[in-house]
Structure 1
């Protein structure tokens, strides 16, 4: 009888090896996937965070959040003492753009509505440019060769 139970244990070991190896393989794959996922996630986040926060050299025609803020702040300074009838409406639009940008969660990489808010900023920027009679696309200004005074 001892030989029968010994062969049963050997048989059980062989049958259960598939489950054991599947479990070990799953665990190894999960750990490797998690490690690679973190590396790829950081790389992806850095790339897209940089696109949102600043200007990409190849895509100067699509300025980003930092540019919008500087643009709005500069125009606000230029128009704040204006007596023009349209200046009040322009200033309100500029202040709205500045407010949206200042409430933007710059330091929260997990912010779920990031793309929606970027689109809101872009739309407000285009509206502001329209009110100021300024082209929203600056590629003509950037592509000029040299500067003149």
Structure 2
């Protein structure tokens, strides 16, 4: 009987140590994945913003009707990007808003931006 209690004690200690180590590894891996994923999203959105701001600048003096649609589409994309909550990783509509930005970018790309 005494051996059984001793085995249970070791089992309990081993479980606690394993749980603590697993938790630590999980946190480290989670942070690493989150940083990598966040960097990819930031880079993607940054490229969309750079594209939109560049074209907005190029079209700013073109006020004819043909270009006003282009400018409105660019303004809409820039607005979506500026509202995106970069600092809140727990934002529950992050994926939904990211898809809206991607869709708006594709829409802007379909518009012939060249003069």
Of Structure 1 and Structure 2, the greater helix share is in: 2
Q: Which runs of 5+ in 1 are unaligned?
A: 1-10, 55-63, 135-149
TM-score, L = length of structure 2:
0.83
The one of 31, 34, 47 aligned to 1:45: 34
> RCO (CA 8 Å, sep 6+): is it higher in 1 or 2?
2
Correspondence 1:32-71 to 2 at 5 A? 32-54=21-43, 64-71=44-51
RMSD over equivalenced CA pairs, Å: 1.9
- TM-score, structure 1 normalization: 0.66
> Aligned-pair distance for 1:66?
0.4
Equivalent of residue 27 in structure 1, options 4, 16, 21: 16
Runs of at least 4 residues off by over 4 Å = none
| Partner residue in 2 for 1:114 | 94
Q: How does 1:1-149 map to 2 (within 5 A)?
A: 11=1, 13-54=2-43, 64-133=44-113
Give 5+ residue unaligned stretches, structure 2: none
Shift of 1:49: 1.6
CA contact (8 A) 2:70 2:113 kept: no
Cα offset, 1:22, TM superposition = 2.8
State the number of aligned residues: 114
Query: How far 1:39 moved relative to its partner?
Result: 1.4
